[in-house]
Amino acid sequence: MMRAKMQVAAVKRLVGADGNVMVEELAAHPVCGGAPFGPNGESEDNTFARFTPSGSLSLTVNNPDLLGKFKPGQKFYVDFTLAE
């Protein structure tokens, strides 16, 4: 139904008493327009920013296979599909 393009703003690692990362808290926001621009002054980020100009997303990741995979600055598509 809707696709957003989000950029990771921060990754907070929560470490257990044993020194191992237990979970990560991800914070993301919609992308902002920026270079490189196309022939009409547009970029994919500009297009997404026009229709989703602000917002925030916060997730806690507890999957050991995903810990350490998310880095600030990375961009991801987030698809919103109705779950019935």
Residue 22 neighbours by CB under 8 Å, 6+ apart: 14, 15, 16, 62
Place of tokens 């229709």: 51
> Has residue 80 been placed in a domain?
no
> Has residue 81 been placed in a domain?
no
> Has residue 78 been placed in a domain?
no
- pLDDT at position 11: 97
> Has residue 16 been placed in a domain?
yes
> Has residue 10 been placed in a domain?
yes
**What is the per-residue pLDDT across 6-47, written as a single tens digit (0 to 9) for each?**
999 999 999 888 988 789 999 999 998 766 666 676 788 888
| Token pair for 29 | 């926001």
* Number of domains the chain contains: 1
> Has residue 28 been placed in a domain?
yes
Q: Provide the residue range defining the domain that includes 23.
A: 2-67
> Has residue 30 been placed in a domain?
yes
